[in-house]
Every structure is written in C-alpha cells, then in structure tokens.
Structure 1
Amino acid sequence: MSTSESSSARELLAVVVIGAGQAGLSAAGQLLRKGLEPWEDFVVLDANDGPGGAWRHRWDSLTFDAAHGIHDLPGLPLETPDPAEPASRVVSRYYGTYEQDLGLPVVRPAKVESVVHHVEQGAPTPETAPNAAPNAAPSEHGTFTVTTADGRTWRARTVINATGTWDSPYIPYYPGIAEFTGRQLHTRGFTAAEDFTGQRVLVVGGGTSALQFLLQLDAAGAHTVWSTRRAPDWTDHFFDSSWGVNVEASVSARTTMGLPPLSVVAATGLPVTDQYLAGLASGVLISRGPLRRITSTGVVLDGPGPDGGPVPSQGPVADRLLASGGAAAGGLVHVPALPGRACTALTTEDPLTTWETPVDVILWATGFRASLDHLSPVHIRERGGGVVMAADGVSVAKSPGLFLVGYGASASTIGATRAGRRAAVEAVRAVK
C-alpha cells in the first residue's frame, strides 16, 4: 500500500505510531524487526511535509557541530557529517534515508487531532467495578481511533505517541508582557541572528538554547542582555555514560509519580565548554538576574545594583572559574553597566531596588512542553499536568496500549532511541 492509498485504514491495525522524529522512527524500525508488516500492521503518522521531525524547523545557523550530538538510529550509523552544515539539513536527510532504506509506512502530512480509546465490551469501568482502586486501568486494552486534521481515521490496538515538544512552545507570564511595544518571539520562531543586528535583545531562559542565541546574536552585532530566574546551573561534571543513566533515573522518578518532567537543563546542567568559557569571560554569557516585569519599551531586572553595574552570582562553578581566571578563557573582563535607570518595586512585598533597561526584542528561550493535546480524550493527565508512567518508562499507567516516547527521561535523542525500541516491544507484546 502506498502513502497516497493509506488515507484511512478500515481494518484494525496493530499499532499506530504518531510522529516521525527520533523516537517514532526508532519505534517503527523495531516494529519491523518484530515481524510487523508495514501498512498492514502499522503506520507512522507525521504532521510535517517531509522527514526530519522537529529538526527540519531549526534555524540554519544551528550547525551540526553546535547541535550537541545526534544519536544514531538503530541499524544506520550517521557517520561524520560536515560540522558546518545546518543541523536541520543533516538530520532531515538522515531521517529520510532511514525511512526509505527500511520502507517505513510514513503518512504525511498527517497532523493528529484526537486519539479516542474504546474499551472492549465486558472490560470493567469505574461504573461497573465501583470497588476497584482509584484510577485503576481496565483489564482489556480495547482499541484506539486516531483522527487527523483532514478527517482521516485509523483504528489500532495500540498507539505509540512520539510527538515530542516542538509544537508546544512555553512562554511564562510576566506583568506587562502585553504592553511591550517591541518584538517578542520564542525559540520556535527564530530564523537568523542577522535579523537583530544593531538591536538590543533580551534573551530569557537558562538552557543551552539561550547560550547559543546569545553567542550568535553577539557575533551578528546585536546588543544582548541575558536574564535567568536563578543563577545559571553551570556544571564541570564529566558527561559520561553513568552520568546519563543517573539523569534518566532522576527524570523517571518524577514521571512514574505523574509529575511534569523538568527542563533538560534542570536535569543536566550547563556544560563548561571552551566556547562557553570564552562567552563567560567576555561577559556575553553573564546573567543579569531575574526578570521582574516588562514595560512598554524595556524590562525590569533585579540583578543589577543601583548603578546598573554589579554582576550577580553566576553560580558556584562559574564564580570559581571566573575568580581563578577561567582557565584558557583568561578571566572575566569588564562587564559594562546596563543602560537605564534604577526603580523601586511595585509592591511593598517586593521592596528590592530594581533596574529598568531598554530593549527592542525579547527572545523567549524558555523551552517547550510535551505536545499531548491530541490525547485529551484519553484523560491521561494528572491535575498538575503530568502523566503517570509505568516502571518501563514508556507505558501510560492509566491507558493500557498507549505508550509515550520522547517524554520525560526519553526526551533526549539517545533516550528517544531506547524508548522507541522499548515501546515497540511492549506494543507487540500487548497485541499478542
């Protein structure tokens, strides 16, 4: 069956995979290895026009050498791409090759709008089994109906959801955010640093994306200001395999309790690379403190002192490095005072003196949330927004037959690969 002929599956499929990024492709490849037939037993639904997942939307200035590594898909080594080539092109080409070589049944564009779970007749429900434990799952998997934006439907015994986070950008609320007259954009809307040459840009966020933006904007001639909610979480820990296992374990501990996953940097910290050390020494990667509120033409920070000059703590690791000369970076150079004016807090509960500085642009490098709105009919979210995951890290405790990959501990490319394989194994086991 070709992609064009697969508009709506009338038969009951074994598995529908939603998403064709790292996790979704890893799952699809494992389904093949487990003996499932493409198109007859499973399909992969992708909202994009072509291969690459979220990577195809990344800005061209994010080159492969700055992308913090892409883990190999099972059975197809990435080899050594040109480090200066945009990561979006490298990954899109790599994913496309994987799809073609394996003959994966990818349907695109197919943006999923809803997933509905139908419990099989006779399976207990809260009404028919009132003495069951709270949130107890039905003993039978039932079936799922997956519907796309153009009205096509697929029915399946199991669903592997691999939709990632790219479609759910997060911008926190700050007083005055609606009154700002300059430009505001999120990581998702960034295209090129040269768009901001000569402008004063506030970058908000404590992750590696914020670091990359700051360095690129500075190189393009923009005037940058960095704001973080707390001191940046720099770490000089060696990133080895045991470190990665420990990070995944800490994230899994939250998701098995139904708590929302923390940001990546909250679990990993910011690596002290030579590039970032140089940024610290130059002052570009110096946080000027938390953002308190936004005015029509600027922002109010509580990091600078009364003259806009002192630099707040950058955390124990960075403070130690800067005080000792920053190794090869040569130590911290003079960080100029922020232009603007001192101002008092708006409320008596917040009496600190703050500093208002003018900005033309606010770039929100504040991360993403899991893209799970299409799963709302299945009612898997807890009151706090998280999802209770089983001990295997991929099974949704409240909905047998539904698997989440690229969520929580499997949000990284290496974690997504492992989770995709694991979800495929569990889906085949559930079907059989």
Structure 2
Amino acid sequence: MSAAESGVGVRSATVVVIGAGQAGLSAAYHLQRHGFVSALDDPAAERTFVVLDAEAAPGGAWRHRWASLTMATVNNIFDLPGYPKPPIDPESPSREAIPAYFAEFERAMGLPILRPVPVTAVRRADQDPDGDLLVESSAGTWRTWAVINATGTWTNPVLPHYPGQERFRGRQLHTRDFVSLRDFTGGRVAIVGGGISAIQQLEEISRVATVFWYTRREPVFREGEFHPEDGVQIVAKVAADVEAGNPTGSVVSYTDLAWLPYAVAARDRGALVRRPMFTAIEPDGVREADGSFTPVDVILWATGFKPALAHLDPLHLRNERGGIAMRGTQVAAEPRVHLIGFGPSQSTVGANRAGRDTVRALIERLRRTPTPTRAP
C-alpha cells in the first residue's frame, strides 16, 4: 500500500492549484479573496488551498522565452487581478519583466506556493464521485476536494516526425529551445510552423541567417484590424469545441495571422516566403515537395505546444477523439477538476477571468455538497 493510499504523510487542502502562471495566480487570488486560507499556515481551517508550481521561481513559462523577445513584441499581457503592472520598458526582455511582475504579485498577496514541486499524478481517492482526489507530487501527496489545473502548454511541445530525421547531421531544436540569435548567425535555417512564434522567430533569424519557411497549409493573414467582436466570436468557437469534447486547434487556426510589425518586417526583408512541407530529412538538408534538395544547418520546429495534462491521465478525462468535454472551466466527466489556461481561457485576459469563474463555481458546489475533507 502506498503512502497516498494509507494516508501516512499525506497533507490536505480543500483546493489544490497546479501551476503558478497567470491562470494559476488568478485562481489563487480569487480563492484567497473568497475566504480560503493557506493550507501551509492553517491546515485545520475550514477552507484551505495550496499552489504547487513546477518552476524553481516565479514567472511560469515566461522564464524560458528567448532573450530577444521583448515586451514590445509579445501578445498583450493583461494585469494580474488586483495588482496592476508597473510601467515596463517596451524593450525589456519579457523573460525578465514578466517573472519580476509575477514575483511582486506573489509577495504582495502572500500566496501559499510551493516550488519547485512538479505534480506527477492526480487520482481518485476512492469510488465516491463526491469524494477526494489525491495529488501526487515530487514533494509528497495532497488530499483535496478539488483541483484547479493551470499547467499551460510549455512543457508539452509538439515535435513532428519526418523520414530521415534521425540521420540529420545539423541541429534540431524546438521553439522552447531557442535562446539567442547567436546560435543561428551565418547559417541556413529551416523554420517549420505557421503560428505566431514561427513568424516572430522567422523575422528575427532572417536578420542573421538564410531562412527557409515551411508550413503544412498555406498561412492565412487577416486583413484589416482586429475588433472586439472578432475576439468574442473566436472565444465562442473555442468554447463550442471544448464543450463538445473536440480537440482544440492552434491559436491561429481560430484567429488567422495578423500583419503585426514583425510579420511586416519579415515580409519586407523577403523572408516571408512560404514553402510546402518537405517530404524527408536527409543528413545535410531537406528534400522539397518538388523533389529538389535544400541544404540546411538547423531545423527549428516552431510547431507549437499541446496542453500539459499527462498528470491527469489516471482520471481518464479524454474521450475517444482525444478531447476533454468541458462545462465552462469544469471537466464535464469529473466536476472536481477545473482546467484553466485551457481552451477559451488560454489568453492572459481569458486566464484571469477563468480563475475568477472557477472559484465562483467551486463556492457554488460547496453549497451543494458535503463538507470537504479537512486536515487532521
């Protein structure tokens, strides 16, 4: 019998939040605002919570962004709830400015965050549908009444496979491995992907290297300005997909690409020339769709990410299509689990709202169900 099964050494919290990026911090703020207290400081209180974060320091995935990604080029970063961002130099690296802001927020709010504590599995404690869940982590197990999952996507990169990939003599890396332009200077770089990061990295790398841009489908650039009603329609589309249990697509599959300054710069430099996907990778380059050969030194897979949810696998939340049916932020088949920063709440403003809405839903559920397990 494991420690989790026997209860030995298991701590308790009414709610466990997994992840301390924007969505997780928003949820923690709203829990605290609605009377939940630290499970670390007052474990015997009626309503408690704790945040388990896999990162070694505040900032979530922003800590790992490439050095040249500045605040001027990132998508809009909305304020954390109750704590407006201070003025930030638009030329500041986002991997420094945003973690600093998150750290200030955590200190100001006094949130109960444990790190680095990767969560390895979430399981049902028993067969009772209103019973507890067990959250297993690198620092022990927590018994909880509800889980708010806010693990994002950064730790689950999409890496396609093409024939001959293992024999390539150059370097292959993913968006998450991109650190500095110095790594590409003077080279011949194949960039694969049709999303926002792919265009940003294409533009930057084209300043110092020869680039070749590959996508599976012809990219669609949206003409005209993006209006608020466009955003409402897009969120509704994503929400409809997750409510139906359909796997969601990439961000640009819903929004299309925009002619933002980096895209215009890449176009004007002659770098924004799309090629259909190569058919194979050879030791010194790629075999084009038309049969010709293009030598390259580096293949950058700017192919995006999927939600990092492997730790939830023991709950069997996915349907036969690979999707997870949702009701708002709540998993339809497992109401004890909420997913935020997922589906329509992937944007930073959506993450903030999802944190608020999730806590409201939990409080409503508390009114209808037995008092959850408290720490001994």
- What TM-score comes out, normalization by structure 1 length? 0.79
Q: 1:10 Cα shift?
A: 4.7
Q: Does residue 1:32 correspond to 2:62, yes or no?
A: no
> What is the match of residue 406 of structure 1?
341
CA distance in 2, matches of 1:201, 1:45: 38
Q: Deviations over 1:16-64 (max 9, x none)?
A: 0000001000000010111111224000000011000011111111111
Q: Does residue 1:148 correspond to 2:137, yes or no?
A: yes
Larger-gyration structure (1/2): 1
CA distance in 1, matches of 2:326, 2:260: 34
Q: Deviations over 1:252-289 (max 9, x none)?
A: 11111111111011111111124422321321111122
In structure 2, stretches of 5+ residues that fail to align are 1-7, 368-376
> What is the match of residue 347 of structure 1?
none
> What is the match of residue 351 of structure 2?
416
> What is the match of residue 200 of structure 1?
188
Contact 1:16 1:43 survives alignment (8 Å): yes
Q: 1:237 Cα shift?
A: 4.0
CA distance in 1, matches of 2:280, 2:224: 34
> What is the match of residue 332 of structure 2?
397
Q: Does residue 1:367 correspond to 2:304, yes or no?
A: yes
> What is the match of residue 180 of structure 1?
168
- The equivalent position to 2:245 in structure 1, one of 258, 268, 271, is 258
Q: 1:274 to 1:49 in 2, by over 3 A?
A: closer
> What is the match of residue 321 of structure 1?
none
Q: 1:427 Cα shift?
A: 2.0
> What is the match of residue 314 of structure 1?
none
- The equivalent position to 1:100 in structure 2, one of 100, 103, 107, is 107
Contact 1:31 1:428 survives alignment (8 Å): no
Q: 1:376 to 1:22 in 2, by over 3 A?
A: same
SS in structure 2 at match of 1:401? strand
- What TM-score comes out, normalization by structure 2 length? 0.90
CA distance in 2, matches of 1:147, 1:186: 29
> What is the match of residue 112 of structure 1?
119
Q: 1:11 Cα shift?
A: 5.3
Paired residues, number: 353
CA distance in 2, matches of 1:409, 1:273: 22
> What is the match of residue 84 of structure 2?
77
Identity %: 44
Counting only pairs closer than 5 Å after superposition, residues 7-406 of structure 1 correspond to structure 2 as: 10=10, 12-39=12-39, 40=43, 41-119=48-126, 123=128, 140-150=129-139, 152-219=140-207, 221-302=208-289, 353-390=290-327, 392=328, 394-406=329-341
Contact 1:215 1:284 survives alignment (8 Å): yes
Deviant stretches of 4+, over 3 Å = 8-12
Q: Deviations over 1:59-84 (max 9, x none)?
A: 11111111122111111111431111
CA RMSD of aligned residues (A): 1.6
> What is the match of residue 126 of structure 1?
none
CA distance in 2, matches of 1:71, 1:372: 24
Contact 1:228 1:290 survives alignment (8 Å): yes
In structure 1, stretches of 5+ residues that fail to align are 1-7, 124-139, 303-352
CA distance in 2, matches of 1:143, 1:70: 35
CA distance in 2, matches of 1:76, 1:9: 36
> What is the match of residue 427 of structure 1?
362
